[in-house]
Structure 1
């Protein structure tokens, strides 16, 4: 059906009642942005801008503003929730180094914009959960040489802006009980296992002493020897958590190491040596298994680094020389033989072949390539020998950009993750205080023995660890984003993964998205004596246009060897056509609306136009201000994968498929029928696409817009989720959209929606499982059913099950 109602809400504030929070945030963003211009535009030299990560509502912006305004040297603060940016007015340039740390203490992350970064990346080994990351951050931020630090448990990386020696940073991290090493390409592709071996041997040795002590309980061995064996198990297995716990307390945080160390020491204090040793060993074993499992999710993206060969065969005169890819320069010619991987991005200068591009685009079938076509590092040359002119250095290849952007995306906190982190920051101190109260107050008032209540309090300390809850979201997001990257889909962060799961309406741009974007001339109707003159005039007018219809006319003329005329004064008429001056006269090429606006169209021609449009043709009318010279009919073809993709989307539960096009109603209807799109908006000018998106949002829909990432940028930005198609080799598409389909078709769109919904469901499962496990453990403590070692098992077991559940996303198809 044709949409003729152009009325649409004036902004997101007019959205449906279910989207109140988003509408509010959008309004807040607009107000804040206006405030920025008014209050911060006076002293631009002392202004510093930051990207703020972790905000999930406008009140977060207010929290940051209030917190920073108390800092001396800061003149003004404006935080925009809508854009995720903060502008700070400072007295001098030295204060801006303190701002990221201040924001971090408020529970968010500030990343400087428009500044030269001296940030180093370190690989951190030995973290058990997100609380360990917090401990490292708080410990390092107190160092005067450290200006900014961010540790991400999910990816195992630390980003640090500092002015000291990297060796000193490594030592500081080791003090906190962890290992750090500068992140290099070699380390990423082959992670060191020294630390893991050390942890495992420590866990094993602790287990041996625990086992000997336990076996000794069935023999006439001296109780003192058994106690000594248990004590050795506690000392060996508990060294790391005690050390890490000490620095956590020193840094002002209560992480799981603090709680577990307190439980083990407390158990030994009340004479429960077996319980204390069991706590330490189960905790160490659980962390070892967790580390191994989480490392698998981290390796899911590191595996992409090994796709591209480390060496290339470079053509030097008549010689072929093997070189490391790092030593190959732009414009060098490399030779790739059949059954070899392509080492660098480049353009084919000689040869033809079928290329398996699945590592980059996720396409299921090889793509035929010939001279002048682009090829990408990491893809597989199936047959023919190729000579390729290198266009990008090893660090700038498409696959290198994908890896970089995916790692950045994995480090961005989704709203759910940010909320759970804040919840855990409140939950842990409260339960810790409750545990202390349970140990002290009941026996103090004569209710039960001190030993019994101390034991229950220690069990409560163990239960207080929110490890499974904190891990529940980030590991799921890392797994899902890694899966997507391997399937040729780039998801920019957990926020967009969550948004994709709630999309109910898919909006497609027609040309180049649903269709091939390569229309062909199907009919030429000429009122001139020489039909070739009409085509020559049309070619001359369209010569300066890159529009697909203009290119179709140029191709048609080339095929018939029809040249251009002498022309000048070329001008584009937005949304309607183009004009040029030929032999001193103005000529126009455009849609019927252009000529309606000038002098109208003859009635007979109106009938011809209607007949052609009903058959799905897009029309280009050629004429002057006074005469119509002829009509050129152009038609586009639907992509072979489009119908299948839309049918699959319907099976995922997508409610509405919408097409946007500037074409006439007849063409739009034909394409809609062919693709099974159930709604379309025709005769749209570029700005009308934004209005159409807002109209759908005003109807209560959560809208995803799929386009090419360039021409559709305003509509992509207006939609709840912007999806760009054909990102391989297109930097603009990779930069502008929230999600990028690397292939130039919709093949992986259903997979993206299924993956996002699966991720949402698994996150919900993890959160509820974590909470219910805690509640059950709490209930069983006070009747004395839950022992100390059972409490540890429930905590580490729950964390391990949550990780394993999240890892199912790595295999989602």
Structure 2
């Protein structure tokens, strides 16, 4: 049904699958609101500093107003005036706004460029990252794989019937590799939708299984079939040959025999290699590719992109453990991923980055930053923006404190007037604000 369609006479039943609060735009609004409340470490420092700074300035102003008249026989009119000037010049306006206005400017600029940063703390941490780990499928690759090879092991078996069973099983999972098989079945007009699948289940990180006509079938990586059956030695050679070509190989069969091999290839994103190079230019010490795929395929794809290290055949728990190892060795580590399997690693990293458009809801919710357009090229921009934000925040803090100290020194020769105090306070606030707004102009 198209938007604007009118139901004139018929009965229309509508099932609500998601509430308005679950729409993408609502989530973006919610995340932006949360980002405003997430305090960066620099902002928390300024808030604590202001708690002590303000009472100290008030105390100094009182002492300036009363000590000279009481001890040095100064005039009350002159020194009360000087005390008021100290109170005005000591007002921490510029200091207090130096961090939040920078963070809001940076987060706003990032949002316009398609990078959703969920809080100031993540903006600041991103600029300190030393290592970045990437998931392969859907992150470094496009996540739109296609079937390249389909080989039935027994020539007496009907190829279309086998493909129909495979498609019926794969249609019950949302894995990118499954979509490639379903697409092939549809292109060849293979009738698979009427096949009844019972006891379907997913074997995390390995494959799926289901029962058709009383027979339990498995589809998964070769490792799965080594666990459930004795793999024929004749199977090793074709599997290895396909993997060496950078293809992901899936095996279909039962606990007793292997029925078919399916090879799937995913195209590398055009921007991936360029992004890796830019990250090294920005000073990132190490890039790592984490994948559940076999080692041969992973190394073939990783070498095309110039990734420094490749970790293959990983389960979700293995990815989580490896991220923890990287954090213990390098400190600040970012993880970029898109799938449910990446969620634990995203949560364990210093900064989790999700591919927003193609990523799973779980990954996006878990991550601290989302690349909403699935454009990996936004990552170097986000890191540069983060680092510039931190430099501007430090410059604002130094300038705010410096101008206050300089103005307070004018009390000694008696040159500090209310006009000088007002100009220094207002001028510092304006300059800090204008300096922070420069973050809106940072380009990709």
Separation in structure 2 between the aligned mates of residue 396 and residue 614 of structure 1, nearest angstrom? 43
Corresponding residue of 1:521: 147
SS of 1:587 mapped into structure 2: strand
Corresponding residue of 1:758: 388
Contact 2:129-2:332 at 8 Å conserved across structures: yes
Contact 1:513-1:745 at 8 Å conserved across structures: no
Contact 1:506-1:654 at 8 Å conserved across structures: yes
Picking from 783, 790, 793, the partner of 2:423 is 793
Corresponding residue of 2:397: 767
Residue deviations 1:606-651 (CA, integer Å, cap 9, x gap): 2222222111111111223232223211111112232233333333
- How far off its partner does 1:420 sit? 1.0
Contact 2:218-2:254 at 8 Å conserved across structures: yes
Contact 1:727-1:733 at 8 Å conserved across structures: no
Residue deviations 1:189-215 (CA, integer Å, cap 9, x gap): xxxxxxxxxxxxxxxxxxxxxxxxxxx
1:182-193 equivalent positions in 2, closer than 5 A? none
SS of 1:761 mapped into structure 2: helix
Picking from 539, 555, 564, the partner of 2:183 is 555
- How far off its partner does 1:579 sit? 2.4
Corresponding residue of 1:679: 309
> Are residues 622 and 408 of structure 1, via their aligned partners in 2, closer, same or farther at CA, if it must alter by over 3 Å?
closer
- How far off its partner does 1:542 sit? 2.7
Moved more, 502-511 or 756-765: 502-511
Contact 2:131-2:330 at 8 Å conserved across structures: no
Corresponding residue of 1:634: 264
Separation in structure 1 between the aligned mates of residue 22 and residue 174 of structure 2, nearest angstrom? 27
Long gaps (5+) in structure 1: 1-312, 320-329, 332-390
Matched, 1:706 2:332: no
- How far off its partner does 1:525 sit? 2.7
Count residues with an aligned counterpart: 433
> Are residues 494 and 709 of structure 1, via their aligned partners in 2, closer, same or farther at CA, if it must alter by over 3 Å?
farther
Larger radius of gyration: 1
Separation in structure 2 between the aligned mates of residue 607 and residue 746 of structure 1, nearest angstrom? 36
Contact 2:356-2:364 at 8 Å conserved across structures: no
TM-score, normalisation: structure 2: 0.89
- How far off its partner does 1:660 sit? 1.1
Q: For the aligned residues, what is the CA RMSD?
A: 2.9
Corresponding residue of 1:456: 82
- How far off its partner does 1:400 sit? 5.0
TM-score, normalisation: structure 1: 0.50
- How far off its partner does 1:447 sit? 5.6
Corresponding residue of 1:539: 167
- How far off its partner does 1:727 sit? 4.5
> Are residues 573 and 428 of structure 1, via their aligned partners in 2, closer, same or farther at CA, if it must alter by over 3 Å?
closer
Contact 1:668-1:682 at 8 Å conserved across structures: yes
Corresponding residue of 1:695: 325
Residue deviations 1:704-760 (CA, integer Å, cap 9, x gap): 111226442211111111112124897655533211211123132222111111111
Matched, 1:807 2:437: yes
Moved more, 414-423 or 611-620: 414-423
Matched, 1:504 2:130: yes
Separation in structure 2 between the aligned mates of residue 401 and residue 574 of structure 1, nearest angstrom? 28
Residue deviations 1:403-442 (CA, integer Å, cap 9, x gap): 4432342243322212212211211111211221122123
Corresponding residue of 1:745: 375
> Are residues 646 and 443 of structure 1, via their aligned partners in 2, closer, same or farther at CA, if it must alter by over 3 Å?
same
> Are residues 699 and 434 of structure 1, via their aligned partners in 2, closer, same or farther at CA, if it must alter by over 3 Å?
same
- Identify the structure with bigger relative contact order (alpha carbons < 8 Å, sequence gap 6+): 2
Residue deviations 1:315-337 (CA, integer Å, cap 9, x gap): 46599xxxxxxxxxx98xxxxxx
Separation in structure 2 between the aligned mates of residue 728 and residue 672 of structure 1, nearest angstrom? 21
Residue deviations 1:4-50 (CA, integer Å, cap 9, x gap): xxxxxxxxxxxxxxxxxxxxxxxxxxxxxxxxxxxxxxxxxxxxxxx
Corresponding residue of 1:405: 31
> Are residues 531 and 412 of structure 1, via their aligned partners in 2, closer, same or farther at CA, if it must alter by over 3 Å?
closer
- How far off its partner does 1:666 sit? 0.9
